[in-house]
Amino acid sequence: MRGTLWIVLGLFPLVDGHPTLKTNQNSLETADAALNHQSGSLNSVLHLDDTEKAALEPTRVDPAFPMKELNTSHYPATRAARVAQHYLNYHHGSPSKWFMVHDIKKASSEDIPEVGTKYHVQFSVQEQATKEIVGNCTAEILFRQTEEQSAPEVNCTCDDLLKIETSDADHALYHHIKHQPEPMTGMDIPDSQGNIPKEMEPFWYLGGIGASFIMWQQSNESTLYNMVHVHSVKQLNSENDLLAFDYVVLLHDMVSQEIIHWHMQVAWNPTQGVKVTQCHLLPKGTMKQPSAEKHKI
């Protein structure tokens, strides 16, 4: 492909519920390494050498494929930024750290014939627990023209991401869970009134980070996803030092207004971060609907 110098960090097509990892041209790390959380800047996560670092430079614009400036409050920019948010959360979120797009500063898109549309977005994010705002994020999001849903390819960097320091909280939580006599369980987070018991908050965040993987994979130019409900969470046995959980989560797509149920298994520890090990879509109607209080109006 002419004129495109972006790095693809891995494609994660969902094959019968098991995410398989496919590296693409220019992808210089395995997806496993990409999912490891390292200390240091985002660039160092990939252990890039100089050539690889040069490849991460912003795309040079090819005059044959003109860039179109986008209105930052219009939905094409909003949808592209949301994909970057999901990507960012999956790679950098934790039970103590969850980001939302705060403000879109600049956005543009280019149509690449026979490939798809690539968006360039500059935005700030807000971390939900600390309320801190991380200012300088840039992302490139490529939506490929495919018959079937394929995950958008994302390249996203944020300058001050590491100023949000949660490793103490993450380690404390990890040890707390590890030392419980019984595996944890939870249901209906939040409840109908939006309440979340304090001890359930990390599992809500963790569900959100795992769901971010699914939302990233399922996104295209006609979707805008949020997680609206953790139907259930159950801790699983795990032999290694990763904690494992079984989740059923409900996602809301703003564009179709549909509520979509996903079953996923999530592995986590503070050093390796979050990984979705299995996921599959539940057909509409299999799950009991989010419980409502039995009050007569």
Partner 1 sequence: MNLVTEQYKDVVTQDVLGMTYENQTINYLKIGEKSDKPKKVIWMDCGIHAREWISPAFCQWFVKELLENYKTDEKISRFFQNMDFYVVPLLNMDGYNYTWMENRLWRKSRSPSPVSNCSCFGTDLNRNFDASWNSIGASQNCCSEIFCGSKAESESEVKAVVDLVGRIKNDILCFLTIHSYGQLILMPYGHPNKTAPNHDEHLKLGQNAANAIKQKHGTSYRVGPPSQILYPNSGSSRDWARDIGIEFSFTFELRDNGTFGFKLPEDQIQPTCEEAMAGVTTIVEYVHNKQFGSAAAATVALWSTVLASYLSLLVLVQ
Q: Which residue has the tokens 């690539």?
A: 118
Q: Is 37 exposed, middle or buried (0-12, 13-18, 19+ CB in 10 A)?
A: middle
Q: How far apart are CA 295 and CA 226, in angstroms?
A: 28
Among residue numbers 178 through 207, which ones bind partner 1 (CB under 8 A)?
Answer: 190-196
Alpha-carbon gap, residue 205 to 210, rounded angstroms: 9
Does position 105 interact with partner 1 (CB under 8 A)? The reply is: no
Chain positions 224 to 243 lying near partner 1, rule: CB under 8 A, are 226, 228-229
Applying CB under 8 A, the span of 25-33, 42-50, 179-187, 253-261 interacting with partner 1 comes to: 253-261
Measured from the CB atom, is 260 or 267 closer to partner 1?
260
Evaluate whether 183 touches 234 at the Cβ level (below 8 Å): yes
Gap between the Cα atoms of 235 and 86, Å rounded: 23
**20 in contact with partner 1 (CB under 8 A):** no
CB of 242 to partner 1, least distance (A): 27
Is residue 9 within 8 A of residue 27, CB to CB? The reply is yes
Candidates 16-24, 105-113, 162-170, 252-260; binding stretch for partner 1 (CB under 8 A) = 252-260
Query: Which CB sits closer to partner 1, 71 or 238?
Result: 71
Q: Which residues bind partner 1 (CB under 8 A)?
A: 71, 73-75, 78, 100, 103, 128, 190-196, 226, 228-229, 250, 252, 254-259, 284, 289-295, 297
